Amino acid sequence: MLNKKTILITGGTGSFGKKCTEIILNKYKPKKLIIFSRDELKQFEMAQMFSDKKYPCMRYFIGDVRDSERLLRAFSGVDYVIHAAALKHVPACEYNPFEAVKTNILGAENIINAAINCGVKKVIALSTDKAANPVNLYGASKLCSDKLFIAGNSYSGRHKAIFSVVRYGNVMGSRGSVIPFFLKLKKTGTLPITDPRMTRFWITLEQGVVFVLNCFDQMVGGELFVPKIPSMNILDLAKAIAPKCKTKIVGIRPGEKLHEIMVPRDEARTTLEYKDHYIIQPDLRFFSNRFKKNNGKPVVNDFEYNSNTNKWWLTIDELKSMVRSL
């Protein structure tokens, strides 16, 4: 589906964008692959990995999702957009709330308007488990962003653009994740643990990218995709990374949850289950025809996809193997 198409990735110099670029270049033959991001240094460094000499389809655009005019220029002639740009660090968003709103919410609005005006065919926005029943500003801003992208399908009207959202858990080894943090502190002999009961959904970078690209093929617009992925316990992760280290309980940080949710109980009535994922259908009734041929199985009314009650768990040995792979 991506062959001979023009694809743009916002936040393309981040962990997801780099892995997504690598997989697209290895598996497909795009007409153009545009990296759209703010940081010229990161673009320069990425261009050393994926140069336009080796990969003539590569383009690097400096820009910010807050800048609607720049997005209109960047989206000209684009077929598909993967929206990965976001302010995502929970403490930073708590301390800089206006900045989180400008990027995560107003940036989403700009993406939607630019996609509709420029004739983009499909847009997938990346979300987070923190957007389900949010307790911090990052999660709240991403929930608002999710709602905007789903509603973007009704704004599109007679235009081509359709919008969907992908929601998944913590990405192993991504920038700012707990694994690099623990590896750095391993030599001190002590690892800080927020709470020994804490659980998280866990996905590798490659799994996340492959799931997003598969969703491009399946999407009809308006749905929210949730992959079936394993959970892990934070204390098990510490043992996998540094079994000889002591642990120090430091308490949950502002805006953190003990457990994460990807499908809230209140959304069970619109959730369909498939072999390897769930789809949360939109509440808007005029989208219902899009899902008539959708062969998913409705979940039970009190269903909730929670990292603590998940049936699939990573063992310490599995976590060790995943950490070694990094």
Tell me the catalytic residues: 130
- Report the C-alpha gap between 201 and 131 in whole angstroms: 13
How many H helices and E strands in the chain?
Answer: 11, 17
Contact by Cβ (8 Å): 108, 149: yes
Contact by Cβ (8 Å): 276, 199: no
Helix (H, G, I), strand (E, B) or coil at 263: strand
- Report the C-alpha gap between 98 and 103 in whole angstroms: 9
Amino acid in the structure at residue 121: K
- Report the C-alpha gap between 113 and 9 in whole angstroms: 16
Radius of gyration from C-alpha coordinates of the chain = 20
* Length of the chain, in residues: 326
- Report the C-alpha gap between 141 and 144 in whole angstroms: 5
CA distances from 116 to 35, 49, 176 (A): 20, 32, 33
